[in-house]
Each structure stands twice: as C-alpha cells, then as structure tokens.
Structure 1
Amino acid sequence: MAESDKLPPTLGALKQHVLRAHIQARVWGQTDIVQQEFLDPLQNGYYKDKDGQLKPVTTEFLPAPEAIIEMVRCQCKVDCSSHRCSCNSVELPCTELCQCSADCQNDEDSQDITLASDSDGDSEDNGDV
C-alpha cells in the first residue's frame, strides 16, 4: 500500500490550516485588547483527543482516493529494470510512492531518456529509406 504522507496536501488540509491560522491571527491581532473575543477552537480546525487535549485536524478527507493509495508501488533494492519490479512488470514507471533504490532505472526521467533515444534511432532509420 502507498504511503499517504508522500502525497501532496489536499484542499481539505488547506481548509483546516486556514482555520487554525485564523485563530492564531485573531489572537495576535487582539494583543492590545483587555477583553479578547476568542473563537471556538473546536469549530476552527481543532478537536479534543481522548485525554481532552486540543489537537489539529489535519484534513477532513483521505489524502487521495483509496484506489490511488492502494495502487502499484515497488520496494526494489536494485535498479527496477527487471520484471521482478512490480511497477515494471505492469509497464508503469516507478513514482515517488515507491520505495525503490536511488539508482532506479524505471522512473519517469529514465523512461524519458529511453524514449528520446528510441525516437532518435527511429529518425535515423527513417532517413535511410
């Protein structure tokens, strides 16, 4: 299963962050007021845990649809060039969700280089015709 913490933030996460930032800005903006008007943190990006402590709500939704979180990813220890790589075996490039080694030969950059060199070879073959 893919690690959801490697996915980019969602709009739900942004909304919760803005709510928390609004509380902070309001507190700072009222520093010179004796009787400050506080916002309810439970309505503005926080929840109470089982011990009654306020904790930030990180997002309202999953970071991605469950199908994406469960999508193919590999954990290869070598260069991902063989069909033992679960991504390579289904003809997909390795992504940031994969936990393969730094010398991966199946990432998008490697495939772009391969495709570019293949198309260069095709143009040479077409020139001979």
Structure 2
Amino acid sequence: MQRNILVYHTVTGCDTVSQPSGHGKKTTWKVFQQHGALLDDLGRGTLSESTIRSVEEFFCRIYSPASDETNINDVRYRMFQKGTKDPKKLPPSRKCLEQHIKRAHHQAQVWFQADVPIPEIESPIGSGWYEDATRRLHPHVSVDDPLPNEFTDIVCCKCRNCATSRCSCRAKNLNCIAACTCNNGVCHNPYRVAIETDSE
C-alpha cells in the first residue's frame, strides 16, 4: 500500500488532477485500503491499456463499492438506471476517465522523478493535456460528447407503475425505458405492453 500512496493522491485529486466528483479523500481512502494494488503500475513506465483498465476498476470500486463491475460505463449506466440523474453524481464516461488517468500518470511520473537531475518524462501534451494558441496547457476533459445527440430528447418518468396519464412517457405515447423508475417494479404503460406483446 505504501508503494502506491503517491499515485493514490494523484488519481484521487491533487493540484493538477481533479478528484472524482462527489468522492473526496475520506471515501476514496477506504477503497484504496482494499484495492490499492489496482494502482500498481500508474506513474511507472509507459501508460498501457492494462494499467488504464486497472485504474478504471479502481474507479468502479469508488462509485459502486458493492458491485464487481470493471467497466465504468456500465457503472454509470446502472447508477443512471437506478435514479441518479445528476451528472455531478455519476462517474465519468470511459473516454473522460481515460484523460483523467493520463493526467494522473503524467503527474505521478513527475513526482517519482523529482530527485532525478534529468528526468525522462513524457510530454504533457497528449497525456491528458492540450496546448492552446498561446501555448498554455489545458486539461483535455474528453474526446467525445457527454451524450449521443439522440439522447437529448429522452423522456423518462418517475412513476411507480405508470397507471395514470400523469406518466410523462405515457402522455407522449412513448415506451418506458431503463432510466424510468417504473423499471424497478410493475409498469402499466400501454405503449410498453403493446411493444412486448408484438415481440412475443
């Protein structure tokens, strides 16, 4: 665990790398105590896909401690499905997390070689950072849109059973989707029933 204390500090929030939204050092420390080995290769050598996957799993443990998920997009989807709609409470997307990991890896490399007269450190450009026209560095947050364009018009209801016309999906003649709260119980949306009947 001591071996990874520096990278833990880096990946969970320092001066140059953001913290996981809604999760400070106190909550992430508990995850680190149990799963610190997932950070073994961060900041050491060239950042590999397997290291990115290990750190991704570490983030899955932060946002969903009770699950065995290793894919942050799956954790994000399940949290959304269970009613977490506030983007600040959801984990980052895989692409966004990858940029975060690159920044953490770069910062850890700098710290690991702080006592080396001529350190061998990768350029920050491409390591989660980009350079603007004035040669200032900015964090590269993500390489894709936060949501596909077709998701911007999604309607999801907060009904228990969609039995009345107050159901927003039913009112718009739409099927209930995974993000609707009725998916945890019985749904009486007639449009949903019609679709299910047709598919049988």
The normalised TM-score by structure 2 is: 0.38
Q: Is the 8 A contact 1:87 1:94 kept in 2?
A: no
Q: Is 1:54 matched with 2:129? A: no
When residues 27 and 92 of structure 1 are mapped into structure 2, their CA distance, relative to the original with a 3 A threshold, is: same
The structure with the largest helix share of the pair is 2
When residues 81 and 48 of structure 1 are mapped into structure 2, their CA distance, relative to the original with a 3 A threshold, is: farther
Residue 169 of structure 2 is matched in structure 1 by 87
Q: Is the 8 A contact 1:20 1:45 kept in 2?
A: yes
Q: How does 1:38-77 map to 2 (within 5 A)?
A: 38-49=121-132, 52-73=135-156
Q: Supply the distance in 1 between the matched residues of 2:170 and 2:134 (Cα, whole angstroms).
A: 47
What stretches of structure 1 of length at least 5 have no aligned partner?
97-105, 116-129
Q: Is 1:5 matched with 2:87? A: yes
Paired residue secondary structure (2:106):
helix
Q: Supply the distance in 1 between the matched residues of 2:165 and 2:97 (Cα, whole angstroms).
A: 39
When residues 32 and 9 of structure 1 are mapped into structure 2, their CA distance, relative to the original with a 3 A threshold, is: same
Percent identity, aligned pairs only, is 32
What stretches of structure 2 of length at least 5 have no aligned partner?
1-84, 188-200
Shift of 1:81: 6.2
When residues 61 and 93 of structure 1 are mapped into structure 2, their CA distance, relative to the original with a 3 A threshold, is: closer
Q: Is 1:36 matched with 2:119? A: yes
Letter in 1 for 2:179: T
The normalised TM-score by structure 1 is: 0.54
When residues 64 and 8 of structure 1 are mapped into structure 2, their CA distance, relative to the original with a 3 A threshold, is: farther
Q: Supply the distance in 1 between the matched residues of 2:117 and 2:99 (Cα, whole angstroms).
A: 28
Which has the higher Rg, Structure 1 or Structure 2? Answer: 1
Q: Is the 8 A contact 1:12 1:61 kept in 2?
A: yes
Shift of 1:10: 2.5
Report 1 or 2 for greater relative contact order, CA contacts < 8 Å, sequence distance ≥ 6. 1
Q: Supply the distance in 1 between the matched residues of 2:114 and 2:104 (Cα, whole angstroms).
A: 16
Letter in 1 for 2:108: A
Q: Supply the distance in 2 between the matched residues of 1:72 and 1:47 (Cα, whole angstroms).
A: 36
Q: How many residues align?
A: 99
